[in-house]
């Protein structure tokens, strides 16, 4: 029986490897990476920023990217985020995530980073809002400034003390997620033949293993 169990596990692993796995897609990009020429809005101060993004399908959100500018020696650490159907809302998801920072260049006495962090939540077709705030760094709060760089893309940015009035510029960011199939996944003809062949081969191996037991 032990040999039968081992063979069954191998067959299952082969079939699983043959099934295509979901990959994260870019849902929307509002000009990241940016070039730092337009300035930025403070992200580690007292106020949150919220920015719109469109979705043309159904997705499970996985991550977001933003461009940050800060002083030499400063490393952005974490950021509080939420996803909602209106500015500053969190009716879809929220959390605090660590930032994975990729150095881009230096300019005007500081560092530019492209910072990636995990997000979650399920969205469909429509307009949604990414809200960020309470960003932390390797320095104590209040000692350094971190700015969310601007790109002037088509998104609308808002600050929490004027939540219904779009700001003059929008921020550089991108949102990623895995597509949600519209219905049950049906393999294409070639894939079906491959799965069937693998299954039949596995059954023959199983019979041989069983007869030798």
Answer whether 89's CB lies under 8 Å from 111's CB.
Answer: no
Whether 90 shows a pLDDT value over 70: the answer reads yes
Q: Which domain holds residue 126?
A: 25-179
Please report, for residues 74, 75, 188, the alpha-carbon distance to residue 138 in angstroms, rounded to integers and kept in the order given: 6, 6, 51
Cα–Cα distance measured from residue 114 to residue 63, given in angstroms and rounded to the nearest whole number: 13
Per-residue pLDDT tens digits for 17-57: 444 445 689 999 999 888 888 899 999 999 999 999 999 99
Asked, for residue 141, whether it belongs to a domain, the answer is yes
pLDDT digits (tens, 9 = 90+) for 3-16: 444 444 444 444 34
What pLDDT does residue 29 have? 97
Tell me, what's the pLDDT at 88? 98
Tokens 């870019």, residue located: 26
Q: How many domains does the chain have?
A: 1
Q: In sequence order, what E strands does 56-156 have?
A: 59-71, 76-84, 93-98, 100-107, 110-118, 122-123, 126-137, 146-149
User: pLDDT tens across 167-185, in order?
Assistant: 999 999 999 999 998 765 5
- Please report whether residue 204 resides in a domain: no
Condensed to tens digits (0 to 9), the pLDDT of residues 49-83 reads 999 999 999 999 999 999 999 999 999 999 999 99
Tokens 């043309």 found at? 56
> What is the percent of the chain where pLDDT is above 70?
75
Note whether residue 185 is domain-resident: no
Q: Examine the pLDDT at 86 and tell me if it is beyond 90.
A: yes
pLDDT at 188 over 70: no
pLDDT exceeds cutoff 80 at 135: yes
User: Does residue 100 form part of some domain?
Assistant: yes
pLDDT at 34 (0 to 100): 83
- Contact call for residues 64 and 130 (beta carbons, < 8 A): yes
Q: Where are the alpha helices (DSSP H) in the chain?
A: 2-18, 189-212
Residue 139: inside a domain:
yes
Give the single-character DSSP code of 162.
Answer: B
Q: What is the rounded radius of gyration, in angstroms, for the C-alpha atoms of the chain?
A: 24
Q: Is residue 119 part of a domain?
A: yes
Q: Say what the pLDDT of residue 198 is.
A: 46
Is 156 within the bounds of a domain?
yes
Give the residues across from 6 on adjacent strands: none
Does residue 210 have a pLDDT over 60?
A: no
55 in Cβ contact with 128 (< 8 Å):
yes
Q: Residue 7 falls within a domain, yes or no?
A: no
Look at 44-58, 121-135, 191-205 and tell me which has the smallest mean pLDDT.
191-205
| pLDDT value for 184 | 58
């Amino acid at each position: 029986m032990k040999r039968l169990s081992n063979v069954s596990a191998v067959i299952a692993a082969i079939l699983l490897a043959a099934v295509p796995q979901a990959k994260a897609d870019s849902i929307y990009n509002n000009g990241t990476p940016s070039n730092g020429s337009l300035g930025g809005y403070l992200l580690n101060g007292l106020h949150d920023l919220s920015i719109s993004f469109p979705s043309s399908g159904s997705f499970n959100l996985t991550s977001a990217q933003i461009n940050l500018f800060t002083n030499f020696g400063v490393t952005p650490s974490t950021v509080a985020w939420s996803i909602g159907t209106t500015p500053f809302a969190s009716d879809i998801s929220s959390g605090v995530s660590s930032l994975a920072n990729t150095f881009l260049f230096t300019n005007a006495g500081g560092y530019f980073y492209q910072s990636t962090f995990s997000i979650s939540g399920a969205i469909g077709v429509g307009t949604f809002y990414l809200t960020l705030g309470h960003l932390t760094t390797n320095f104590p709060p209040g000692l350094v400034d971190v700015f969310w760089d601007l790109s002037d893309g088509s998104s609308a940015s808002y600050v929490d003390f004027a939540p219904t009035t779009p700001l003059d510029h929008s921020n550089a960011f991108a949102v990623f997620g895995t597509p949600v199939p519209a219905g049950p996944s049906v393999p294409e003809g070639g894939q079906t033949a491959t799965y069937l062949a693998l299954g039949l081969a596995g059954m023959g191996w199983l019979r041989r293993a069983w007869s030798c037991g």
